[in-house]
Amino acid sequence: MSGTTLEEIVLETPLGRMAGLRRAGHDADAPRVLALHGWLDNAASFLPIAPLLPDIELVALDLPGHGLSAHLAAGADYSFPGAVNAVLDAADALGWSRFSLLGHSMGAGIASLLAAACPDRVERLVAIEALGALAESPDQTASRMRDAITASRALRGKSLRVF
């Protein structure tokens, strides 16, 4: 059985520092799970259930602007597409091409959108008290989210035009 201790981690991402908690002593072949907290909460919200999930590589993230993660710049938008990109950035920083998602409340909404938009990255989804608004059909929402993620990630590293 793997360890049940969660250690603080810091991931450097294109959006800035993302903090979180990571299970110590996990098995190398254990399923990888990113845990996403609810609005105005943080990674520590998963401490009560972590001992019940001993055989997974659990990383509970502090989403941008929450917990010990960096806040976004003034005028930046704390949106669902932005949060989806932040989670993908965290997975990239961990070196995870595929993973499962465990989300609570707002985190479950973010996880659901990410799973719909990027099924090639997400193996499984567990949603606790899911919260999120869909203004279109699920297929249209997934398609728009996929396009938004692709466009947003393509802009990174591009220089601004100088006039």
Whether 105 is catalytic: yes
**Which residue of the set 45, 69, 100, 105 is catalytic?**
105
CA–CA dist 3, 17 (Å, integer): 26
What is the Cα Rg of the chain in Å? 16
In the chain, how many H helices and how many E strands?
3, 6
Whose CA is closest to 60, among 26, 101, 98, 21?
21
Side chain identity at residue 138, one-letter code: P
Residues linked to residue 8 through DSSP beta bridges, in sequence order: 21
List the structure tokens of 70: 């960096």
Contact 107, 63 (CB under 8 A): yes
Are 128 and 101 a contacting pair, CB within 8 Å? no
| Residues forming the active site | 105
